[in-house]
Amino acid sequence: MSAPATGPLRPDLMDPRTLAALGRLEVISRWLVDGVLNGLHRSPKKGFSVEFAEHRAYQPGDDLRLMDWKVAARADKWLIKQYEEETNLRATIVLDVSKSMDWASAPTLLTKRQYAEQVVAALSLLLLRQRDAVGLIRFDDQIRSAIKPASRQLQFTRLVAALGESGGGPASDAGSALRQAAQAVKRRGMVVLVSDLLLDPQDVDDAVRVLRAQGHDVAVLHILDPAERSFELGVGESLFVDTEGGESLAATPAEVREAYVETVAEAMAEWRARLSASGAVYEPILTTEPFGVPLRRAFARRQRLP
């Protein structure tokens, strides 16, 4: 998708390839976050000071320090002040950097990993600007790197540096990564899994259930190359080889496209159903979609946090 022909450019709505060509990851992320924040009607930021929320009737045993004495003096009503809890979110982003993520269906497209890193960087920056704590766990068949959640300004630099590290293992062990994320987030927080979900669903599901049981908000961003969705590969009869498992299958895209598309749709529906049942949010994202889309979704979810 390209930016509108008129008006100021919104980085979050720019074509990912165009935006990626502009510069380093952290620069891109700042642009993106600025775009997202500019596009919102209302800031979701809250909780940096003690803010009054509502009154309720006094119940015996309530802390008298919370009594609204002014109302009691004025109206002879005993009301207890309730305040919104000042909560800095602790988020951990779990990024799949397995070999399957290092794939793009065309040279002109970002690989799923490149796209995911842009999303992770932008999301991290967005959270940090809200003074939330953000951590990162990168995994393939093992944990490649783990940065505990922190809200310091240096945290973004560390995250960006970590995103530049290697990966590309032959498999994905999302379960252990998610479990490690649960350990990293002691308090209730948010865990965002960014992956192409070429994983063992049961493994992921088990881990998500554990996270949800611990009270964490879980979101799964399913990164998809467009060709993985449509099987539009522009090739004829070919031998298709799995990038991780080494399995292969001879097929003609034109002949199996319909069945493939149906299968992918079914798989995505299964992921959505499975994760919804576990209380997690599932969002499929194509690597050709503007970055703003996942950020906006993530931010909207942040607003819904308790």
Partner 1 sequence: MNFLTPWALLLSVAAAVPLLLHLLRRRTGDRVEFPALRYLLRAEREHAREVRLRNLLLLLVRIAMVLAVAGALARPVGPFPGVGHPPTALAIVLDNSASSAAVVGGSTILEAEKRAARDVLAAASDADRLSLVTMDGEVRSGSPDALRTALDALRPMDGAGDLAAALRRAEAAVAAAALPESRVVVLSDGQRSALAATVADSGSVPRSLYVVPGARPANRGIASVRLEPPYWNPRGALRAQLIGDSVAWRVEVAGRSVARGRSTDGVVLARVQDLPRGWHAGSVELDADDYRGDDRRYFAVHVGDAPGLTADAASPFLREAVATLVTSSRARAGGQVFIGSALRARRPAVLFAPADPLEITAANRALARAGVPWQFGLKRQGPAPLRGASVDGATATQWFSLTPLDGARADTIARVGSDAWAVAGEDYVLVASAADAGATDLTVRAAFVPWIDLLVSERLGAAEGRALEVAAAARVTVPTGVDALEFPDGESRPVAATAQIAAPSVAGVYFWRRGAARVGAIVVNAEARESELAMMPADSVAAALDAPRGESTPESLARAAFAAGGRRALDTPLLLLALVLVVAESWLARRGHAARSAD
Task: Confirm or reject binding of residue 202 to partner 1 (CB under 8 A).
Answer: no
Helix (H) / strand (E) containing 224: strand 217-224
Three-state DSSP at 65 gives: helix
| Residue whose C-alpha is closest to residue 123's, from 189, 30, 58 | 30
Report the helix count and the strand count for the chain, using DSSP H and E. Answer: 10, 10
* Sole window of 173-181, 212-220, 253-261, 294-302 interacting with partner 1 (rule: CB under 8 A): 253-261
How many residues belong to the site for partner 1 (CB under 8 A)? 41
Task: Confirm or reject binding of residue 248 to partner 1 (CB under 8 A).
Answer: yes
Residues 162-201 that bind partner 1 (CB under 8 A): 196, 198
| Minimum CB distance to partner 1, residue 208 (Å) | 20
Q: How far apart are CA 95 and CA 131, in angstroms?
A: 21
- DSSP per position, 270-303: HHHHHHHHTT-EEEEEETTS-THHHHHHHHHHHH
Q: Work out which of 1, 22, 242, 300 binds partner 1, going by CB under 8 A.
A: 242
Q: Work out which of 176, 214, 230, 288 binds partner 1, going by CB under 8 A.
A: 230
In one letter, which amino acid is 242?
Answer: D
| Minimum CB distance to partner 1, residue 17 (Å) | 20
Task: Confirm or reject binding of residue 241 to partner 1 (CB under 8 A).
Answer: yes
| Minimum CB distance to partner 1, residue 245 (Å) | 7
How far is CA 157 from each of CA 152, 154, 304, rounded to the nearest angstrom? 10, 5, 28
In the DSSP assignment, the letter for residue 206 is H
Q: Work out which of 71, 233, 293, 305 binds partner 1, going by CB under 8 A.
A: 233
| Minimum CB distance to partner 1, residue 195 (Å) | 11
Q: How far apart are CA 171 and CA 145, in angstroms?
A: 16
Task: Confirm or reject binding of residue 228 to partner 1 (CB under 8 A).
Answer: yes
Task: Confirm or reject binding of residue 31 to partner 1 (CB under 8 A).
Answer: no
Contact 10, 292 (CB under 8 A): yes
Q: Work out which of 75, 77, 237, 276 binds partner 1, going by CB under 8 A.
A: 237
Q: Work out which of 5, 21, 57, 239 binds partner 1, going by CB under 8 A.
A: 239
Catalog residues that contact partner 1 under the rule CB under 8 A.
Answer: 99-101, 103, 196, 198, 228-231, 233, 235-245, 247-252, 254-265, 267
